[in-house]
A and B are shown apart, each in its own frame.
Chain A
């Protein structure tokens, strides 16, 4: 039996299987909590994230300031809460860019074949010649530093994974009997792509996108840490850590809490992604 045999409706079964995985459930719960924190930051945060208070500079954690205050007297907890908004935004936008462009490239390469396939996949190879954050750095170098450019940079650098996966899956779907039959009955490229290929590639894309959000948040915070992403006074986790570096001796809390937030969110998306891969991706079943 082919790995891409369609099922009647796999969704409810996949949900049930996902529920039985403690790691995935924990990841999902943390993702939900993170999303809620991002959405309700104005309600949750006790202070405006950029409000400075020079009578309360570098206060250690207390009831009034659960995560302490920074070098300008800003409430670290409020800034972490608002930082969730930026991270969520970055994760979704970057993955959105990567998934849409990458999927389109993979589909076109597989369906068109020939020289177009060659050109698309060779450019993917070139993009893969820059590991990790380097491609994002190159894009920032061209566009210039800043929050919006950083999102584009992180998104663009994640395109290759989607393009490769979608191309590979598409090629194997095209071999399936019912797709061959549909094509011989005259179904065109667009019809084949929308009706037969996309439903089959959606599972790997969902898995890649979930783990991709974790990677994007990590890269984006890294770029901001380097001063190439979000600019002060934006309450962004990476740039908060960059500020904290100068005050390690006198204000450890400035360095601890934003980093903890990044780690928990990244771990949450990784756990959820691993669980989804187990239940959705037929190759690992």
Chain B
């Protein structure tokens, strides 16, 4: 197990290198002079020269890159132009909000998705199956910035059940449902097809013919096998939820990393944007590596040696 974990983490290094290169080169890929963009139209030549020196943009590119990476490894993501705060601390202040939202959405997605998918697979080709698959199609096609507004319209403005913006745990319900809905739809579809495939296999028929109760067959024999691909997709969905939090945080005005990213892009605060890009990329690569490890742990067919 441990060697597999190490090997998987080592395999992630080239991608992490690429992610850092991408984040670094953002400053230099920007059309025009990044310093002038950061300072705005009215900046004096002196200010431009001073900031360029401050950011080290006068040094050769490889030197700049190495100092960027070595600072990042020490947890220094530079200083925000707008607030003058260390970018790493600004991200740290907002991790909690985004992590809570993402995990709550994931929980909803797993619960709703696996439940509906199982129901559809058991009731194959019935009206229930058709209805669930239709709901899933709507869930996949509905943009979160719309479903969020509709939920606010219904549950906050009309029924008054939940606050519209940040308000502790009750303020988490609507954003988490909004963010979790598309993932639930994906998981429902996948659970259904995976479970149907397993239900057609010999060992399930054997269990049935042995006289095992239908629910026990599904719960104890089929679902356990069907969940293996589902776990992989849950891991991949985690990244999508992270990305989706950008929009959901804006809809519900939550102070998380997603909204922070949008504001940073709007203000063209390059140190902030670079820091967020590096952070998001690294987190996702690490999560994917962990998913692979979990996958290997639960599926005996994958060799962990």
- Bound form: Cα–Cα A216–B145 in Å: 15
Chain B nearest CB from A285 CB (Å) reads 15
- Given A126-B19, A126-B22, the answer on whether A131 and B240 have CB atoms closer than 8 Å is yes
We find that the number of chain B residues with CB closer than 8 angstroms to chain A is 47
- By the criterion CB–CB under 8 Å, are B273 and A129 in contact? no
- Residues in B whose Cβ lies below 8 Å from that of A258: 146
Residue of B nearest to A149 (CB): B31
Task: Say if the beta carbon of B30 comes within 8 Å of chain A.
Answer: yes
Q: Which of A131, A214, A226, A270 lies in contact with B250, CB distance below 8 A?
A: A226
Chain A nearest CB from B148 CB (Å) reads 9
- Bound form: Cα–Cα A262–B149 in Å: 14
Residue of A nearest to B247 (CB): A222
Chain B nearest CB from A115 CB (Å) reads 13
- By the criterion CB–CB under 8 Å, are A132 and B137 in contact? no
Please provide the chain A residues from 37 to 83 with a CB less than 8 Å away from any CB of chain B in the complex: none
- By the criterion CB–CB under 8 Å, are B137 and A270 in contact? yes
Most buried by B among A226, A228, A241: A226
- The tally of CB-CB contacts under 8 A between chains A and B is 134
Chain B nearest CB from A125 CB (Å) reads 5
Task: Say if the beta carbon of B26 comes within 8 Å of chain A.
Answer: yes
Task: Say if the beta carbon of A162 comes within 8 Å of chain B.
Answer: no
- By the criterion CB–CB under 8 Å, are A142 and B266 in contact? no
- Bound form: Cα–Cα A126–B18 in Å: 6
Residue of B nearest to A138 (CB): B277
Chain A nearest CB from B135 CB (Å) reads 12
- Bound form: Cα–Cα A145–B26 in Å: 15
Digitize B54-93: 1 where CB-to-A-CB distance is under 8 Å, 0 elsewhere: 0000000000000000000000000000000000000000
Spot the interface stretch: A12-20, A164-172, A245-253, A275-283: A245-253
Residue of A nearest to B261 (CB): A137
Task: Say if the beta carbon of A134 comes within 8 Å of chain B.
Answer: yes
Digitize B229-264: 1 where CB-to-A-CB distance is under 8 Å, 0 elsewhere: 000000010011011101100110000000001101
Task: Say if the beta carbon of B14 comes within 8 Å of chain A.
Answer: yes
Task: Say if the beta carbon of B143 comes within 8 Å of chain A.
Answer: yes
Most buried by A among B239, B247, B273, B284: B247
- Residues in A whose Cβ lies below 8 Å from that of B280: 130, 134
- Residues in A whose Cβ lies below 8 Å from that of B250: 225-226
- By the criterion CB–CB under 8 Å, are B138 and A228 in contact? no
Please provide the chain A residues from 172 to 228 with a CB less than 8 Å away from any CB of chain B in the complex: 214, 218, 221-222, 225-228
- By the criterion CB–CB under 8 Å, are A131 and B143 in contact? no
Task: Say if the beta carbon of A141 comes within 8 Å of chain B.
Answer: yes
- Residues in A whose Cβ lies below 8 Å from that of B19: 126, 129
- Residues in B whose Cβ lies below 8 Å from that of A126: 15, 18-19, 21-22, 281
- Given A126-B18, A131-B243, A134-B246, the answer on whether A145 and B143 have CB atoms closer than 8 Å is no
- By the criterion CB–CB under 8 Å, are B277 and A141 in contact? yes
- Bound form: Cα–Cα A267–B143 in Å: 11
- By the criterion CB–CB under 8 Å, are B262 and A226 in contact? yes
Digitize A124-148: 1 where CB-to-B-CB distance is under 8 Å, 0 elsewhere: 0110011111100110111111000
- Given A122-B18, A130-B284, A133-B246, the answer on whether A145 and B266 have CB atoms closer than 8 Å is yes
- By the criterion CB–CB under 8 Å, are A134 and B265 in contact? no
- By the criterion CB–CB under 8 Å, are A222 and B14 in contact? no
Task: Say if the beta carbon of B200 comes within 8 Å of chain A.
Answer: no
- Bound form: Cα–Cα A144–B236 in Å: 29
- Residues in B whose Cβ lies below 8 Å from that of A226: 246-247, 250, 262
Chain A nearest CB from B31 CB (Å) reads 7
- By the criterion CB–CB under 8 Å, are A218 and B143 in contact? yes
Residue of A nearest to B282 (CB): A129
- Bound form: Cα–Cα A150–B138 in Å: 25
Task: Say if the beta carbon of B140 comes within 8 Å of chain A.
Answer: yes
Q: Which of B31, B138, B150, B243 lies in contact with A133, CB distance below 8 A?
A: B243
Most buried by B among A129, A138, A214, A249: A129
- By the criterion CB–CB under 8 Å, are B150 and A259 in contact? yes
- By the criterion CB–CB under 8 Å, are B145 and A129 in contact? no
Most buried by A among B22, B31, B236, B285: B22
- By the criterion CB–CB under 8 Å, are B247 and A259 in contact? no
Please provide the chain A residues from 229 to 285 with a CB less than 8 Å away from any CB of chain B in the complex: 238, 241-242, 244-245, 248-249, 252, 255-256, 258-259, 262-264, 266-267, 270-271
- By the criterion CB–CB under 8 Å, are A255 and B153 in contact? yes
Chain A nearest CB from B249 CB (Å) reads 10
- By the criterion CB–CB under 8 Å, are A125 and B15 in contact? yes
- Given A137-B265, A138-B26, the answer on whether A248 and B141 have CB atoms closer than 8 Å is no
Give residues in A with beta carbon < 8 Å to B.
122-123, 125-126, 129-134, 137-138, 140-145, 214, 218, 221-222, 225-228, 238, 241-242, 244-245, 248-249, 252, 255-256, 258-259, 262-264, 266-267, 270-271
Give residues in B with beta carbon < 8 Å to A.
14-15, 18-19, 21-22, 26, 29-31, 137-138, 140-147, 149-150, 152-153, 157, 236, 239-240, 242-244, 246-247, 250-251, 261-262, 264-266, 268, 273, 277, 280-281, 284-285
User: Would you give 24 A-B contacts (Cβ < 8 Å), ordered by A?
Assistant: A125-B14, A129-B15, A130-B277, A130-B281, A131-B236, A132-B240, A134-B280, A137-B246, A137-B265, A138-B273, A143-B31, A144-B31, A226-B250, A241-B146, A245-B149, A245-B251, A248-B149, A255-B149, A255-B153, A262-B143, A263-B138, A263-B141, A267-B138, A271-B137
Closest 10 A/B residue pairs (Cβ): A259-B146, A131-B239, A132-B243, A126-B18, A267-B141, A266-B141, A225-B145, A141-B265, A134-B243, A141-B273
